[in-house]
């Protein structure tokens, strides 16, 4: 465990390589966004970026009191459990990526939810047919064993300098004293209102007095404050072996439904044993070399590291910095399409499937796939996967299968400390509002992460590594990323929510920043496209309504409109040793970036 006293001078070292990497340090705009949030901040002493002001402030508070990036990341995450309860919390899971400045190494924790030990590949089949997504989501069947509490404890034990009780304090206070309801919170509640009303415990908590919470009102969650208090006193054993866990199991096995709603909430089979055997897994990161940098991310069970990494390797041979905007987008779209074809065929939980992580990330395989990309024509989706074990240049591959559906929502936070450590952490309860089932008296929602499994193979003739299994982790798209220079010093770290669009958002933001040289906050704000081996590429309105669409359609692209893709945050190490924290300017009502000692 690191002691706060072990301060390192390395943090002040200026990397010559960094001067030429990424965007030049922009003058720091101090304009505040909605609700007084600031999407960019520059200074010393550490930095935090998240979607929420209260959560970012919780991390900054811990940094100010001498905590390190890991302590601050857990504090921020716990606060997001209060203010972003529909996207994260102790009822969910996530993936934690950590850069240790002392050893200049990257470590990761897979805190993904697991299926019950009793689950088989038929988890989501009824009478031999896959359930509809809607039927599956708001039910006990979709709930996996939460991994978030174990992730927090593992991270603190391994690299933190504070105990759980200490880092939970700001979040506990926030839950007790309340936060101000903004448009995003109200509209997310409204989007879930019908299904929240199916479950009286959820309605009681999130529809106070039977109404949608009013913008500007104070939302308090004393039950969650008590849950955090209990975790502070007893540790996360209260969830994996104790009373909170018992309540989770009861909720999943016997969902409490309002009989008047007529909702048939299928019970799940999560048992005490599932909680007792849960482990957050420390594992090696993925590493991809890109333009002389080292891009680290999360290995399977998330597809994030392999898919972003493969796409970067495909793009490595093209000089994106000199292309027109249309050609850049074309290459980004095609690389995403190919990487998604391979993701669908090859990535699942490695404890159950043979996953060719190394081969998917080999430059030889990427080159064999890049050869399919033409400047003036578009590949057809669904595109067949390649064979990473036997890369054959320009091979058309075997049978194609479409990408299976995944819900879209969660939250990402990025933290750096004064010692130069960095955390990039995406946590989730799967779709906005999770399973819609609140644990009675405990103040948090349960995840619906198991719907990230394929309910059935998308094509009967293509093997699917993402079918449910006992204790298996559903494939994720979460892609918390840390980029280091050639000397393994941090350049930038970022991530995003958005289900499978996470991969394309992270890829696009990285290339906008590293190749197109946008300042980080503008790379995050840039209008997004998302291609996931589908006939149409999704475009945010700013792209859909621009002349670029016509230019791309002229070479064969087809598009659909997506009102909003992702909600990224990041931190950048500036050449002079300052940190820049960046978040969304507009999406989700704007994010919140702060530093300990502002020095714009
Ligand atoms: N369930 C998604 C995944 O793990 C995360 C939820 C989201 O960001 O939308 O890929």
Look at residue 210 and tell me if it is in a domain.
yes
Distance of CA 133 to the CA centre of its chain: 21
Could you tell me the CA-to-CA distances from 124 to 134, 171, 252, 445, 467 in Å, in that order?
Answer: 12, 35, 15, 21, 10
Pocket of ligand 1 (CB under 6 A): 406-410, 428, 430, 449, 452, 476-478, 497-499, 502
The 3-class SS string of 293-346 reads: EEEEECCCCECHHHHHHHHHHHHCCCCHHHCCHHHHHHHHHHHHHHHHHHHHHH
Residues 331 and 220 in one domain: no
* Averaged pLDDT, 383-402: 86
Beta carbons within 10 angstroms of residue 493's beta carbon:
29
Domain encompassing residue 97: 4-281+410-480+568-598
On the question of pLDDT at 20 being above 90, the answer is no
User: What is the SS3 assignment for 22?
Assistant: coil
- Kindly give the pairing relationship between strand 592-598 and strand 40-50: antiparallel
Q: Which of 307, 453, 473, 502 to mutate to test the pocket of ligand 1 (most atoms within 8 A of CB)?
A: 502
Q: Answer whether residue 198 shows pLDDT above 80.
A: yes
Q: Looking at residue 545, which CATH number applies to its domain?
A: 1.10.246.130
Is residue 134 domain-shared with residue 174, that is, in the same domain? Answer: yes
**Residue 393 maps to a domain:** yes
- pLDDT score for 21: 41
Confidence category of residue 35, pLDDT binned at 50, 70, 90: low
Phi/psi of residue 520, nearest 5 degrees: -55, -45
DSSP 234: H
Look at the chain and report how many structural domains it folds into. Answer: 2
Phi-psi region of 415 (alpha: psi -120 to 50; beta: other; left: phi over 0): beta
Could you tell me which of 190, 371, 361 has the C-alpha nearest to residue 287?
361
Output the CA–CA distances (angstroms, integers) from residue 357 to 315, 346, 392, 467, 474, in the order listed: 18, 9, 18, 18, 16
Tell me the CA end-to-end span of the chain in Å, nearest whole number.
33
Confirm if 74 and 236 have CB atoms less than 8 A apart: no
The answer to whether the peptide bond before residue 553 is cis (omega within 30 degrees of 0) is no
- Do residues 119 and 250 both lie within one domain? yes
- Considering the domain boundaries, does residue 138 fall inside one? yes
How many whole angstroms separate alpha carbon 199 and alpha carbon 84?
19
Specify whether 437 is located in the same domain as 536.
no
What is the predicted pLDDT for the residue at 406?
59
| 28 pLDDT more than 60 | no
Is the domain of 273 the same as that of 303? Answer: no
Residue 492 lies inside a defined structural domain of this protein: no
The annotation status of 477 as a binding-site residue, yes or no, is yes
Rounded to the nearest whole angstrom, what is the distance from the C-alpha of residue 94 to the centroid of ligand 1? Answer: 9
Q: Beta 129-130 vs 422-428: how paired, if at all?
A: unpaired
Residue 499 region, left (φ>0) first, then alpha (ψ -120 to 50), else beta? left
Residue 565 has pLDDT above 50, yes or no: yes
Structure tokens at 31: 């304009």
pLDDT band at 461 (very low <50, low <70, confident <90, very high): confident
Cα-Cα-Cα-Cα torsion 452, 459, 305, 56, nearest 10 degrees, comes to -30
Alpha-carbon distances, residue 317 vs 23, 138, 335, 419, 444 (angstroms): 21, 45, 11, 35, 47
Residues 6+ apart with CB under 8 A from 482: 97, 99, 106, 295, 296, 297, 422, 424, 490, 492, 493
**In this structure, are 185 and 66 located in the same domain?**
yes
Q: Is the pLDDT of residue 351 over 80?
A: yes
Rounded-to-integer distance, Cα 341 and Cα 339, Å: 5
Q: With a cut of 90, say whether residue 324 has pLDDT above it.
A: yes
For residues 1 and 182, which has the higher predicted lDDT (pLDDT)? 182
- Both 460 and 347 in a single domain? no
Residue 405: which pLDDT band, with cuts at 50, 70 and 90?
Answer: low
Pair of tokens at residue 292: 């002389």
- My answer on whether 217 and 354 are in the same domain is no
Q: Is residue 167 part of a domain?
A: yes
For residue 117, give both structure tokens: 């030990």
- The model's pTM is 0.94
Residues 148 and 268 in one domain: yes
Structure tokens given for 208: 């106070």
**What distances in angstroms separate CA 368 from CA 37, 317, 372, 401, one per listed residue?**
45, 11, 8, 20
Q: Is residue 286 part of a domain?
A: no
Name the band, by pLDDT with cuts 50, 70 and 90, for residue 412. Answer: very high
Given 108, 151, 189, 410, the catalytic residue: 410
Q: Which residues does 455 contact at the CB level (< 8 Å), separation at least 6? A: 124, 125, 130, 131, 136, 404
Residue 302 in any domain: the answer is yes
Q: Are residues 364 and 326 in the same domain?
A: yes
- Do 329 and 425 fall within a single domain? no
* Residue 407 binned pLDDT confidence (cut-offs 50, 70, 90): low
Residues 381 and 430 in one domain: no
In a domain, 289, yes or no: no
Q: In angstroms, what CA-CA distances link 569 with 40, 108, 327, 481, 564?
A: 10, 18, 26, 11, 15
Does residue 365 surpass a pLDDT of 50? yes
Per residue in 502-519, pLDDT (tens digit) is 999 999 999 999 999 999
User: Is 426 one of the catalytic residues?
Assistant: no
The overall average pLDDT reported for the chain is: 93
13 — pLDDT class (breaks 50, 70, 90): very low
**Mean pLDDT of the region 365-393:** 95
pLDDT at 408: 59
pLDDT digits (tens, 9 = 90+) for 158-189: 999 999 999 999 999 999 999 999 999 999 99
479 is in an annotated binding site: no
Query: Which atom number of ligand 1 is nearest to the Cα of residue 474?
Result: 4
376-381 mean pLDDT = 94
Best mutation site among 347, 348, 431 for ligand 1 pocket (most ligand atoms within 8 Å of CB)? 431
Residue 377 has pLDDT above 80, yes or no: yes
Pairing relationship of beta strands 93-100 and 105-111 according to DSSP bridges: antiparallel
Q: Is 452 annotated as a binding residue?
A: yes
The 3-state DSSP class for residue 520 equals helix
Of all residues in the chain, the percent with pLDDT exceeding 70 is 93
């Amino acid at each position: 465990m690191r002691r706060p006293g072990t301060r390192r001078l390395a943090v002040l070292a200026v990397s010559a390589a960094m001067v030429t990497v990424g965007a030049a340090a922009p003058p720091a705009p101090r304009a505040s966004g909605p609700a007084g949030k600031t999407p960019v901040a520059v200074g010393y002493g550490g930095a935090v970026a998240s979607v929420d002001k209260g959560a970012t402030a919780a991390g900054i508070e811990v940094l100010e009191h001498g905590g390190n990036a890991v302590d601050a990341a857990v504090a921020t995450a716990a606060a997001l459990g209060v203010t972003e309860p529909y996207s994260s919390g102790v009822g969910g899971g996530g993936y934690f990526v950590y850069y240790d400045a002392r050893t200049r190494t990257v470590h990761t924790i897979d805190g993904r939810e697991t299926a019950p030990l009793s689950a088989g590949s038929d988890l989501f089949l009824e009478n031999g047919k896959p359930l509809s997504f809607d039927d599956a989501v708001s039910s006990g069947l979709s709930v996996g064993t939460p991994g978030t509490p174990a992730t927090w404890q593992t991270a603190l034990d391994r690299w933190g300098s504070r105990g759980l009780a200490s880092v939970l304090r700001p979040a506990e206070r926030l839950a007790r004293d309340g936060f101000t309801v903004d448009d995003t919170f109200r509209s997310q509640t409204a989007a879930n209102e019908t299904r929240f009303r199916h479950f009286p415990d959820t309605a009681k908590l999130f529809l106070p007095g039977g109404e949608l919470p009013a913008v500007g009102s104070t939302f308090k969650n004393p039950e969650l404050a008590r849950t955090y208090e209990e975790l502070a006193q007893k540790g996360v054993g209260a969830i994996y072996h104790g009373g909170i866990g018992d309540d989770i199991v009861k909720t999943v096995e016997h969902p409490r439904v309002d009989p008047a709603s007529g909702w048939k909430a299928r019970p799940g089979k999560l048992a005490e044993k599932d909680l007792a055997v849960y482990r957050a897994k420390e594992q090696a990161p993925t590493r991809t070399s890109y333009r002389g940098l080292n891009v680290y991310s999360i290995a399977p069970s998330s597809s994030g590291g392999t898919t972003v990494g493969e796409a970067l390797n495909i793009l490595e041979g093209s000089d994106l910095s000199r292309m027109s905007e249309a050609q850049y987008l074309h290459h980004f779209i095609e690389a995403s399409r190919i990487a998604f074809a391979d993701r669908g065929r090859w990535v699942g939980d490695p404890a159950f499937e043979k996953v060719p992580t190394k081969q998917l990330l080999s430059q030889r395989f990427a080159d064999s796939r890049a050869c399919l990309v033409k400047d003036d024509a578009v590949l057809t989706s669904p595109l067949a996967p390649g064979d990473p074990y036997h890369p054959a240049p320009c091979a058309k591959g075997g049978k194609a299968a479409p990408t299976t559906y995944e819900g879209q929502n969660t939250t990402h936070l990025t933290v750096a400390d004064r010692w130069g450590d960095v955390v990039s952490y995406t946590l989730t309860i799967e779709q906005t509002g999770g399973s819609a089932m609140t644990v009675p008296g405990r103040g948090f929602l349960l995840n619906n992460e198991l719907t990230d499994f394929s309910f059935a193979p998308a094509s009967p003739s293509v093997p699917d590594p993402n079918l449910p299994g006992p204790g298996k982790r559903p494939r994720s798209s979460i892609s918390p990323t840390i980029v280091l220079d050639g000397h393994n010093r941090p350049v930038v770290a970022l991530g995003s929510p958005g289900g499978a669009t996470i991969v394309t958002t992270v890829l696009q933001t990285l290339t906008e920043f590293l190749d197109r040289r946008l300042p980080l906050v503008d790379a995050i704000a840039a209008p997004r496209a998302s291609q996931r081996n589908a006939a149409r590429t999704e475009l945010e309105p700013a792209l859909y309504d621009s002349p670029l669409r016509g230019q791309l359609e002229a070479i064969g692209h087809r598009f659909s409109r997506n009102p909003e893709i992702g909600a990224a945050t990041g931190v950048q190490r500036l050449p002079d040793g300052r940190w820049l924290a960046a978040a969304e300017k507009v999406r989700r009502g704007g994010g919140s970036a702060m530093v300990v000692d502002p020095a714009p």
